Chain A
Amino acid sequence: MTNTSGSLHLKSLSKRYGAFTAVDTIDLHIQKGEFLTLLGPSGSGKTTLLMMMAGFQDITSGDILLDGASIAHTPAEKRNFGMVFQGYALFPHMTVQDNIAYPLSVRHRPKAEIDARVAEMLDLVRLTGFAKRMPKELSGGQQQRVALARALCFAPPVLLLDEPLGALDKKLRIEVQAQLKDIHRTVGTTFIYVTHDQEEALSMSDRIVIMQNGRIEQVGTPSDLYQHPKTTFAASFLGKSNFLHRDGAVFALRPEKIDLDPEGKGKGANKVTGTVQSVTYFGAVLKYQVEVPGLDLIEVDVDAWRGGQALPAGARVDLTWVDSAAVRLSDQSL
């Protein structure tokens, strides 16, 4: 059940409410079969953009092409996109079976085909045996999987997911992330995933689109974005960064890319000396806050098993890093 279609092309897509621009001239190619995440804080326009793709928001200007054909004015029910909503939006008056069968039954498919397909979907989301339950008899994670099965049941070329894991607790969320990734590999559908959770974005996506104020801040693979952020926003929203102002430019420096040694022991191309202000133990890492004259508070992560005994607050330390660790950003220095 692989799809032969599912590539999306957003052309100068905008959405304005009076003077307010929610989505600002977005240009984006989404490959068929890709797992693409729209990542941004609330108000960044990511959900509005998703709703425009789904057909629930009008387009102010621009175009959306599915496999080369414009769908900008196609109503939602004709787009054949699957969608998983925040809070799942299962039909509370229908059984799991009827929920999953819904997209096929509104298309008047024969009953035998529907039953076979629903069984297949229940198997995919590992809910075989739950067909006769009502949604309210399921846990949050199970409801989420029913919503996914329902949205994939009619083999849509594109699946839109609007913060689908938002209501789950952290442990369950990590489990469901892995399942989602598995399902994506199995069905080969294009997944477009909206979230504000950077870990979710990093662990699941083929590519991430970082959004802010209705605009694309940066697009790239998770490692590309993490290693080579282009803006202060990208560097601070995806992971943590220290910002260094040098020669009129801003550089982002990840806390784990800095080496920390007692004063006089540090060796490296770039070296500063400072005083440990605090150190916090996180099991795998020790997080140091180091006060360096002339710079902001610098955060340094040290592998706890390698770092030996934690240096106490007040200790004098050398901070060193290699040239390539500091990434020059496009923002102007303040």
Chain B
Amino acid sequence: MRLPVNSGWLLVLPFLLLVGGLFLGPILNVLWISVTDPTPGVQNYAQLGSSDTLRRILWTTFRVCVICTAFSVILGYSIAYAMVHATGPAQSRMLGLLLVSFWISVLVRTFSWLMLLGRNGVVNSTLDALGIISAPIPFMRNELGVLIGMVHYMVPYAVLPIFAAMQSIDGRVVQASRSLGATGAQTFWRVYLPLTKPGVVAASLVVFIINLGFYVIPAVLGGGKVLMVAEYISVQVLITLQWGTAAMLAAILLFGVLALMFVMSRFMKLSTVFGGART
């Protein structure tokens, strides 16, 4: 008996059901709630125009994400550069340290920062004991604290795609640039950086997208003063029970990410960015 569809689909059917049922389903449900709760219509989205709070939260989220992405990618670029130019054993050790930081829970890292940089943290009490400061420096419970925590968390994510891009550069191209009379700086700006651009774009995308959904770090290190979208969604879901608003914000995040990827895809092939075959 011939099946009406290619039998190959049967093989991936369980996976399709899993993705469809457990991933796409809930997302569609969220989108549905955003236009039906509490009553059908677009009133949830209309809040974006009327509510200063919502606009402030979205702006804070965007600003923090952009700054964090910039710092993470610049730091990640430097680390990747050092790793690419390290010799075998040193490179393995560096890669090992990077992976270890991946495995440490975000909660542990966040509270470590509090202990280090809090009002009575190691840094402030040391500086105080040395008589360098009279009042604690406010590292934490503000946007600076959130940025420190987020950048620290995101740097490894930035390193890996940039590292991969740097590894694929033919060293002779750099030598060629120098033999043709270019200084180190000229070689970097005109040859090295352009050739690592796919890695930088990939790193920026990954970091920015993960940043958009950050919840624990802003909540703990921001001390309630730096309200970002994810935390606000949780408040709407758990405390004020305004699921329509929460769903609307989730939808905004989703569309934001998709729009970002669309814009990027206009500039370069996404498969290149995410490590696909380079031609």
User: Interface of A with B (CB < 8 Å)?
Assistant: 54-56, 75-83, 85-87, 89-93, 102-103, 106-107, 136, 150-151, 154, 160
Residues of B within 8 A of A (CB): 170, 172-173, 175-183, 186, 190-191, 194-195, 279
A93–B175 CB distance below 8 A: no
20 additional contacts (CB under 8 A) given A87-B170, A103-B180, A150-B180: A56-B179, A75-B178, A78-B181, A81-B179, A82-B179, A83-B176, A85-B172, A85-B175, A87-B172, A89-B172, A89-B173, A90-B176, A91-B176, A91-B177, A102-B180, A103-B181, A106-B181, A106-B183, A151-B179, A151-B180
Contact check: which of A78, A83, A89 meets B170 at CB < 8 Å?
A: A89
27 A-B residue pairs with Cβ-Cβ distance under 8 Å, sorted by A, are: A54-B175, A55-B178, A76-B175, A80-B181, A81-B179, A82-B179, A83-B176, A85-B176, A86-B172, A89-B170, A89-B173, A89-B175, A91-B173, A91-B177, A91-B191, A102-B182, A103-B180, A103-B182, A106-B181, A106-B183, A106-B190, A107-B181, A150-B176, A150-B180, A151-B179, A154-B180, A154-B181
Is the Cβ of A83 less than 8 Å from the Cβ of B179? yes
Is the CB–CB distance between A136 and B172 below 8 Å?
A: no
Q: Tell me which residues across on chain B come within 8 A of A106, comparing CB atoms.
A: 177, 180-183, 186, 190
Complex contacts, B173 vs chain A, CB 8 Å: 89-92
Closest residue of chain B to A136 (Cβ to Cβ) is: B279
Whether A54 and B179, one on each chain, are in contact in the complex, defined by CB atoms closer than 8 angstroms, is yes
Most buried by B among A77, A79, A81: A77
Main DSSP-derived SS at the B contact region: helix
CB-defined contacts of A54 to chain B, threshold 8 Å? 175, 179
Give the distance to chain B from A144, nearest Cβ to Cβ, in Å.
13
Q: How far is the CA of A78 from the CA of B170 in the complex (A)?
A: 22
Is B178 within 8 A of A76, CB to CB? yes
Nearest Cβ distance between residue B235 and chain A, in whole angstroms?
Answer: 47
Smallest beta-carbon distance B188→chain A, Å? 12
Give the distance in Å from the alpha carbon of A92 to the alpha carbon of B180 in the complex.
16
What chain B residues lie within 8 Å of A76 (beta carbons)? 175, 178-179
Q: How far is the CA of A292 from the CA of B179 in the complex (A)?
A: 55
Which 3 A-B pairs give the minimum distances between C-beta atoms? A89-B172, A103-B180, A83-B179
Q: How far is the CA of A213 from the CA of B32 in the complex (A)?
A: 76
A56–B181 contact, CB under 8 A?
no
A56 and B175 contact, Cβ closer than 8 Å, known pairs A77-B183, A106-B182: yes
Residues of A within 8 A of B172 (CB): 85-87, 89
Bound: A181/B55 CA distance, A:
70
**Complex Cα gap A75–B182 (Å):** 11
From A77, A150, A151, give the contact of B178 (CB < 8 A): A77
Residues of A within 8 A of B175 (CB): 54, 56, 76, 83, 85, 89
CB-CB < 8 A to A102: which residues of B?
177, 180, 182, 190
A93 vs B190: C-alpha distance when bound (angstroms): 10
CA distance A87 to B178 in the complex (A): 16
Residues of chain B within 8 A of A92, CB atoms compared: 173, 195
CA distance A75 to B184 in the complex (A): 11
Which residues of B have CB within 8 Å of A93?
194-195
CA distance A77 to B176 in the complex (A): 9
CB-based contact A77/B195 at 8 Å = no
CA distance A318 to B279 in the complex (A): 61
With both chains docked as a complex, state the minimum distance between the C-beta of A264 and any C-beta of chain B, in angstroms.
Answer: 62
Chain A residues in 8 Å Cβ range of B279: 136
| Alpha-carbon distance between A104 and B50 when the two chains are bound, in angstroms | 58
Contact residues in A for B195 (Cβ distance below 8 Å) = 92-93
On chain A, the residues within 8 Å of B190 by CB distance are 102, 106
Which residues does chain A contribute within 8 Å of B177, judged by CB atoms? 91, 102, 106
